[in-house]
Amino acid sequence: MQGFKTVLLEDRNTHLEHLEDEIINNGTSGAKTSIEFLKSIKQMLQGGKGGSTVSVKWDGAPAIFCGINPENDRFFVGTKSIFNATPKINYTVSDISRNHGGALADKLAVALKYLPKLGIKGVIQGDLLFTSSDKKMANVNGERSIVFTPNTITYAVPVASTSMYDRIRSAKIGIIFHTSYRGKTIKTMKASFGASVGGLRKNRNVFFDDARYKQAKDPGFTGGEEKQFDSVISMAQGSVYKGGAFIDLIKKDKGPLSLGVQLKTFFNTYIRAGSKITNTSALANNFEVYFIGKLKKEIDGKKTDKSKQKYKEILEVGMKILRPNRKGLYFAIASYITLQTAKKMLLGKLNSIQSIGSFMRTANGYKVTNPEGYVAIDKGGAVKLVDRLVFSQANFNVAKDWVKG
């Protein structure tokens, strides 16, 4: 599978694309690779080997980079800012105070104190679940539990889950490692999805694990479910074939106001609003209105004829593609929807096994929810599988206290 190589942004795990967005990002190649990912995950769930591995997308935050700097053999911690033009690499508490502030600095200081005890070799990345101050006791679904909310999801471990509860209760920090890095310098390091924790030293102050999906039982498809899934995949393949020329056309222009980029932005407006993406004909018509309106707003906002002309030309180019390709747009959107449908069917199976309970905190207590999603990995490429109506909408709006600093 070649279509997902671009997911590793500058060979660093700083961004993952949604599976269905690969139609827009990489045209027919991305669509076909998405379909192969879906088929492979289905095969894995049915007990076959498949071509993909799956890791759980824990809703931790912030992302922590840590390990031995290959340039000086010193242990460090940091965020994705270690890749800045002027890197923020923290070897001491003084470095953290200079480079960061607020809650983020506090969490990095805890990481610097305890993560060296694991004996990490090389550089790995993980998502922070908690530090001591983030944990509290609460009644969740009638069970006394220890809970923590690193981002959008609240994780709950009942007191009755003796082993897991004891590990988390005694830990000063919790982290899930998911990516490893190799290279002679931090600037040139390359990311590999997956991080083996088998060689790390256990320490009661650190709750850690890798993100691999652990299939304790077979959540495979029934005969009827398999038939339905295969039918959806067949529909996706048909839509990709009919809309292929259009999606290959729009992938070429990556400008911020290009058709492809604006199509992704258009879909995101529905996700932010919590609206389902279902009616293909209505979406095709609405996108044309959206695109024209977006460019006209840009034009009206410019003061000089010269600056107005730039956006008039972008609109003209876009409409020259859109008007004769309305059928192509229709099938591109149909492909997007059917891939989302197949993805949700797989998410239902993957979600049937959880090691730690996950909940949404509401005004009336805790509401049971599924994990944030999963990452499918194949030959150096990866893509995320998330129920966007639930989690992408929440992440667009959630307040992240640790971001400051």
pLDDT at residue 148 greater than cutoff 90: yes
pLDDT at residue 87 greater than cutoff 70: yes
From residue 127, alpha-carbon distances to 63, 105, 178, 307, 377 in Å are 5, 15, 8, 43, 18
Whole-model pTM?
A: 0.75
Report the pLDDT value the prediction gives residue 161, as an integer from 0 to 100.
80
pLDDT mean over 77-91: 97
* Percent of the chain scoring above 90 in pLDDT: 67
* Confidence bin at 5 (pLDDT 50/70/90): very low
* Confidence bin at 3 (pLDDT 50/70/90): very low
145 in Cβ contact with 158 (< 8 Å): yes
Domain boundaries, given as residue ranges, for the chain: 5-57+218-386, 63-74+116-210
From residue 332, alpha-carbon distances to 13, 180, 242, 268 in Å are 28, 35, 8, 16
Q: How far apart are CA 135 and CA 173, in angstroms?
A: 10
* Cα 391 to the center of its chain, rounded Å: 10
Dump pLDDT digits (tens) for 187-235.
999 998 889 899 999 999 999 999 988 765 666 788 899 999 999 999 9
Dump pLDDT digits (tens) for 377-400.
876 577 888 887 665 555 555 555
pLDDT mean over 89-95: 98
pLDDT at residue 6 greater than cutoff 50: no
* Confidence bin at 105 (pLDDT 50/70/90): very high
Dump pLDDT digits (tens) for 170-189.
999 999 999 999 999 999 99
Q: How far apart are CA 227 and CA 42, in angstroms?
A: 12
Dump pLDDT digits (tens) for 7-52.
233 345 446 789 999 999 999 999 999 999 999 988 888 876 666 7
Report the pLDDT value the prediction gives residue 364, as an integer from 0 to 100.
76
Q: Which two tokens stand for residue 130?
A: 């908690």
Report the pLDDT value the prediction gives residue 101, as an integer from 0 to 100.
97
pLDDT at residue 354 greater than cutoff 80: no
Report the pLDDT value the prediction gives residue 387, as an integer from 0 to 100.
83
